[in-house]
Chains A and B, each alone.
Chain A
Amino acid sequence: MEFIRLPKVENVKLLDRVSPRRSRVGTLYLTATHTIFVENEAGVRNETWVLHSLVCSLEKQAATSSGYPLLIHCKNFQVLHFAIPREQECQDVHLSLQRLSQPESYEELYCFSYKPNVDDEERQNEWDFMNLKADYSRMGLPNAHWKLSPANRNYKVSDTYPADLFVPESATPPVIVGSSKFRSRGRFPTLSYYSKENHAAICRSSQPLSGFSARCLEDEQMLEAILRSNPCSDFMYVVDTRPKLNAIANRAAGKGYENEDNYSNIKFQFIGIENIHVMRNSQQKMLEVCELRSPSMSDFLEGLESSGWLKHIKAVLDAGIFITKAVAEEGVSVLVHCSDGWDRTAQVCSVACVLLDPYYRTLQGLMVLIEKDWISFGHKFSHRCNHLVGDPKEVSPVIDQFLECVWQLMEQFPCAFEFNERFLITIHSHIYSCQYGNFIGNNQRERIQVHQRTHSLWSYLWTNRTDYINPLYRPDHSQTQGLLRPSTAPYCFKFWRGLYNRFDQGIHPRQSVEDYLRTIQEETQQLEEQLASHKQVNFKLPLIMDPDSDEAVYSARGSNDQTLPFQPSSSARINLHFFFACGVFATHTLVSKCLL
C-alpha cells in the first residue's frame, strides 16, 4: 500500500479510442492489486478493473483540453486512455502505477494475495489435478525403450530441467551427466513425446557446446541411445530451429550445432525460426498496427507485412509440421533444439504434439501440454512475461506464438478441438496476470515454494470448463482423428483479432455462431434431463404431429392434467419449427447426407 500516492481521483475521463464521443467520466481508484474505474453515469455502475500485473507500459502525454492523458498498455492487449483533470494527480497516478506494475520481488505478485474462498486442503487438491506422470503413462511410458531417470532429482544435472525425465533405456548416468556437460545449461537430450504406435520419439535439448571442433563421446552415445530406442528406424533427425547464420555465430562462443560426421546416422536440419528479440520487435510492430486509428486497408496490410508476425507464426507451424511428418509418416525420431532449448524448442515440440496427438486437442490435453513442454521444461515465464521488473531484453511473446499457432489450426479445423478461442485467451491472460501460481518463476526448481501458497489455473479452468467447450468439436470426425495436416499456404494464416484487438468491441462479429450453438446445446440437454425426470414420474405424453401444420402440437392427455412437460422458453432458440418442418423422412435424408 505504501506505493499508492493517491488512492482516488475524481472526474477522470476514460476515452474511447475509436469514437471520442463515447468517452465516459468517472472515478479512478488505485488499490493494492487493481486500478478501478467507476463510471459516474446515473443509474449504471460500469466498472473497469485492471490488474496491476497486467500493466505493460504507462505513457503520459501532452495535456489536452480534457485533461492530462495517461495511456496504459496492458499485457492482454487492452489499451486504456485516461484523461486526468490535474497535472499533479496524473503524476501521482503515473508514479504509483509505475511502481505497482513492476514488482521487485516474487512476494509482491498477485498470486500470493489472491485468496478465493477455498480451504487449504482444497487448494492442495487444485495442484494435484495436474499429473504429468499420468500423461507419460498415457504415452505408454516407462517401457522397454524409455525409463524414468532419477538423475535430475535434485536439479543437480540441470537446474532448469524438471526433476522427472525420461531417457533411453540404455542411457547410463555417466552418459547423461557427460552429455549434459556438453550442452548449454546442462540441458541434455531427453524425451518430450513418444508415439506408442511406431516408437518414434520427439526429444529436446539445448545446443551442443561444440565450438568449431569439440566433440563429446557421451553426447554422441546419448544420441545413439535415442536412435536405438526406436527399433524401426536406422537414422534420426536433429533439428536446429535457429537460422543457420545464428547457429554458426554461436560456434565462436564455444556453442553451436551437431557435426553430422561425429554422430552416427543423424540427419541434421536447420529450420530458421528467429530469436526472441526479433519476435519481441515483431509483436510490438504488429500491435502498433492494431492500434492505428481508422487505418486504411493498405495501412493495415502493409503494417502487418512489415511486422513479419505472420511469417514467424508460419515458421513455427512449418517446423511443427516437419517434425510431425518425421514422427508419424517416416517413423523417425527427432531431437529438437535451439540455443537454450526453452523457447523455440518448446514452441516446436508442443506444436508438433498438437498436430500429432488428438489428446492434446482436448481441454485437458492442452493444459497437460503447456505444463509439460513449457512449465516443466523451464520456459522462463517470469522473464519472458516480465512478471518482475527486470531486463527488458528478456521479454518475448514466445508463448503467445504457440497459442496463436493453436488458434490458426482451430481456424483450419473447426471441429478438431475440444476447446474454444476463449480458452486460449483465458490462458494467455493468466500467463501474464500472475493471479495463479502456475507460471511464476522460470523453472521447476524456482517454483517449488510457489505451489504451497498459491492457486492453480488448471483447476480453475477445469471447474469452469463449460465456458471453454467448442460446440463444433467432433472427436469422431475423420479429419479430427490422428494427424492434422494443415495447409501452410500463406492465405491460410489470419490475423487473430480475437486476441490482439480483443477489447475493441466494435470490430468483432456482432453475432456469435458459437454462442448460438452453445445455447441450443444447453437447451437440448435440458430437454433430455426433463425427459428423464418425466419418465420417472411415469407421465405419459402423446406427441401429435398435426398434418396440416409444420409445427408440432403437444397435448397433454391422460389422467394427470398437467401443463406441457417441456416448452422451449422464449429465450430458447431451438428452432423446433425447423426441426419438425424437416419431418421424419427429411431428417433421415439429412442424416444420411451427412454420414456419406
Chain B
Amino acid sequence: MEFAELIKTPRVDGVVLHRPFLPTVEGTLCLTGHHLILSSRQDNTEELWLLHSNIDSIEKRFVGSLGSIIVKCKDLRVIQLDIPGMEECLNIASSIEALSTLDSVSLMYPFFYRPMFEVIEDGWNSFLPEDAFKDLESMTDEWRLSEVNKDFSVCPSYPPLVAVPKDIDDETLRKVATFRHGGRFPVLSYYHKKNGMVMMRAGQPLTGTNGRRCKEDEKLINATLRPGKRGYIIDTRTINVAQQAKARGGGIESEANYPQWRRIHKAIERSNVLQESLIKLVEACNDQSHNMDRWLSKLEASNWQTHVKEILTTACLAAQCIDREGASVLVHGTEGTDTTLQVTSLAQIILDPSCRTIRGFQGLVEREWLQAGHPFQQRCAQSAYSNSKPRQEAPVFLLFLDCVWQILRQFPCSFEFSESYLVLLFEHAYASQFGTFLGNSAAERAKLSLPEKTVSLWSWVNRHQEIERLTNPLFEANSLVIWPSVAPQSLLLWEDSQYIDVIYITIIIIIIILFTISKKYYYDINA
C-alpha cells in the first residue's frame, strides 16, 4: 500500500497552530506518510513534527469557511490547527484519521526511520538475558538459565531464556507451563543480594473448579525456599475475583497443596477499569469550569490515585516480605503480564539501588516489561482521548511510571534520572520512531525482526547528550532500601512541572560559582 493514496491534500498554506502555553504559529502544513508537519518557514521558530501514530483522536469544527482540527495526542497534548478552506480541512482530517489508525505493524514509522545520530551502542544488545544472568551467577549458584522456551513454544509471552531454580529440569518446566495461565511458569524476577531472598512471577495456577494440582509446580516454587522457611504468594486480585477465576479454569494456590506458602490477596485493578480511569482523569484535568468541588469529585471519581496507592502498597508489601521478613515471594495476578509486572518492577525500585540509575532503569523496563511480555502494542494502542471502542488498552505502564514518579518525589536525591526520563518513556511507549515498544512479546519482536529493521530507543538514550539531559543533578547514590509513604497526603498528582528545571538551573549557577573560583585560582597562579 502506498501512503500517497491516503493523502488527498499533502500541503496547505496559511495554517495556524494553537498549543497551550505557547504562542501561536502560522505556517505551512504538510502531511507525509508518518508525520504531520507544520513549518513557519522562518528561522528560529519551532516546527511541529507530530507522528500520526501519536494521534489519539481528532475533532473538526467549522466557522464559515475556516475549519479547525483539534488533534488530541496519545501523550495527552491537545493542539488545534486552523485550516483555511473547507475542502482542505476535510481532506486533511480524513488523511490524518486514516494514517493514524493503520493496523499493520510493519507500516509503522520505526520501520522507515533512519537515525540521524551515530549509534555508538546498539540498544538491542544492551540488555541481553545472558548478561543479566552473569550478574546473578556472581551472587548465587542456585539458579540456571533455561532454554526451554527457545522457540517460544512452551510460553509464547516469555523470552527464549529464563532463570529458574537449578534443580528444576526443562521437562518439569514444560509440565508446570501447562498448569499456569499462558504457560507462564514461575521464573526469577529479582534476587535480593542482601539476604539471598528471591521474587518470582508467574501466571495464575490453572486449578479450575476441581482443584487440579501440579506436583511439579509445587516442587518448582518450593525449590526457592530455605529449609524450614515459609514464602509468600502475593495475588494481585481480591480473594473474590481469584475464586471466580476458577470457573474459567484459573484459580489460586490452595493451602493444602502449598503448605509452606502464605497467600496474600491485594486489589489492583486491571484492563478496562484502568483505561476508564485514565479517560476520567484526563477529562477532569481538561475541565474548563474552574470549579474546585467539581475537580475534586472528578479526581476522586477517576480513581486514578487510588490505583497508584494500591499498586505502591502491594509493591511495598512484596519488598517488605523480602527485605524485612526474609522470605521469598511469588507474585501473580491472572495473566501475569500486567499488575504482576507493576508489583515486581516497583519492588525492585524500592529494594535495588541499581534500578534507580538511568541504565539500571532501562534494564528494569527491558527485563520486567519488554522481555516479561507486557503487551505494549495492545495496551498502548489508544490513550485517553480515543473515541473508538476500547479493546485491550490500559495504562498499566503509565501507572507504573506514575508510581516511580511518586517515589522519586519522596526521594528526590536517590534517583540518577529526573522526571523527564519518565515522561520520555511514557511518550515512546505510545508513539515512537524507535522499535523498542513495538509488538507484544519477545516472540513477536523476533518475528518482526525488530533488532534488524528498527532502531532501539536505548541506542538513542544512551548517548552523552541525552544522558546529560535526563540526569538528576541532585543524585547521590543511595545504597539503602527506600520505603515510600503511601498515605493519601503523600501521593501527588503527576503534573508537568517545571520544578526540576528550576533545581537544575540553581545547581548550574552553583557550578558557575565553583567554576569561577577555580578560574580565579588559575589566573592567580599565572599572574
Contacts and interface: CB of A to CB of B under 8 A. Distances in A.
Interface of A: 290, 294-302, 304-305, 308, 310-311, 314, 414-415, 471-472, 474, 488-491, 493-495, 497, 501, 504, 506-513, 516-517, 520-521, 524, 527-528, 531, 535, 540-543, 552, 573-576, 578-579, 582, 584, 586-587, 590-591, 594
Nearest to A520: B510
Given A296-B309, A491-B284, A491-B495, 7 more contacts: A297-B300, A298-B306, A301-B300, A415-B506, A474-B505, A510-B482, A591-B512
A310 B296 contact: yes
B212 interface: no
19 contacts: A300-B488, A301-B300, A304-B296, A310-B296, A311-B293, A490-B296, A491-B299, A507-B489, A507-B490, A509-B490, A511-B414, A513-B503, A521-B510, A524-B510, A552-B518, A574-B514, A575-B473, A590-B511, A594-B505
B515 to A, nearest CB: 5
B492 A513 contact: no
B449 to A, nearest CB: 38
Contacts of A290: 489
Interface in B499-524: 499, 502-508, 510-515, 517-518, 520-522, 524
Chain B CB within 10 A, most for which of A299, A512, A531, A584: A531
Contacts of A472: 502-503, 506
B67 to A, nearest CB: 28
B292 interface: yes
B489 A510 contact: no
B139 interface: no
A517 B507 CA distance: 8
A587 B512 contact: yes
A192 to B, nearest CB: 27
A582 B510 CA distance: 13
Nearest to B493: A491
Given A300-B488, A301-B305, A509-B412, A543 B510 contact: no
Contacts, number: 159
Contacts of A296: 306, 309, 488
A574 B284 CA distance: 42
A301 B511 contact: no
A471 B525 CA distance: 32
The 3 tightest CB contacts between A and B, nearest first, are: A490-B295, A300-B488, A305-B296
A540 B308 CA distance: 57
Contacts of B473: 575, 578
Nearest to B409: A509
A591 B512 CA distance: 8
A74 B197 CA distance: 45
B285 interface: yes
Contacts of B291: 490
A488 B290 contact: yes
B264 interface: no
A311 to B, nearest CB: 4
A493 B515 contact: no
B104 interface: no
Interface of B: 284-285, 287, 290-297, 299-300, 303, 305-306, 308-309, 409-414, 468, 473-474, 476, 482-483, 485, 487-493, 495, 499, 502-508, 510-515, 517-518, 520-522, 524-525
Contacts of B495: 491
B513 A524 contact: yes
A311 B293 CA distance: 7
Contacts of A524: 510, 513-514
A512 B414 CA distance: 11
A513 B500 CA distance: 10
Give the secondary structure class of A's interface: helix
Contact of A591 (B490, B508, B517): B508
Chain B CB within 10 A, most for which of A302, A414, A490, A520: A490
A489 B508 CA distance: 31
Chain A CB within 10 A, most for which of B410, B482, B488: B488
A305 B297 CA distance: 7
A414 B506 CA distance: 11
B499 A414 contact: yes
A46 B292 CA distance: 42
Nearest to A311: B292
B300 A295 contact: no
B300 A302 contact: yes
Nearest to B515: A587
Nearest to A494: B492
A495 B300 CA distance: 14
A506 B485 contact: yes
Given A540-B524, A591-B512, A513 B413 contact: yes
Contacts of B521: 531, 541-543
Contact of A305 (B300, B308, B413): B300
A582 B467 CA distance: 12
B502 A415 contact: yes
Contacts of A297: 300, 303, 305-306, 308-309, 488, 491
Nearest to B289: A490
B50 to A, nearest CB: 24
Contact of A594 (B285, B296, B308, B508): B508
Contacts of A310: 292, 296
Contacts of B525: 540-543
B489 A497 contact: yes
B293 A509 contact: no
Given A301-B488, A510-B411, A489 B290 contact: yes
A308 B296 CA distance: 10
Contacts of B284: 491
A506 B487 contact: yes
A297 B488 CA distance: 5
Nearest to B292: A311
B292 A493 contact: yes
A524 B514 CA distance: 7
Contact of A527 (B290, B411, B485, B514): B514
B489 A495 contact: yes
B485 A507 contact: yes
A504 B489 CA distance: 10
Given A491-B285, A511-B414, A305 B293 contact: yes
Nearest to B491: A297
B413 A511 contact: yes
A23 B374 CA distance: 44
B364 to A, nearest CB: 21
A594 B509 CA distance: 9
Nearest to A558: B525
B521 to A, nearest CB: 5
Contacts of A510: 410-411, 482-483, 485
Contacts of B489: 290, 300, 495, 497, 501, 504, 507
A313 to B, nearest CB: 8
A491 B295 contact: yes
B512 A301 contact: no
Nearest to A530: B517
B111 to A, nearest CB: 34
B179 to A, nearest CB: 35
A298 B310 CA distance: 12
Nearest to A505: B485
B508 A535 contact: no
A44 to B, nearest CB: 22
Nearest to A313: B292
A299 B292 CA distance: 17
Nearest to A492: B495
Nearest to A573: B476
A376 B495 CA distance: 40
A471 B490 CA distance: 23
A415 B498 CA distance: 11
Contacts of B514: 524, 527, 574, 576, 579
B292 A516 contact: no
Contacts of B468: 586
B309 A535 contact: no
A297 B313 CA distance: 12
Nearest to A552: B518
A489 B20 CA distance: 14
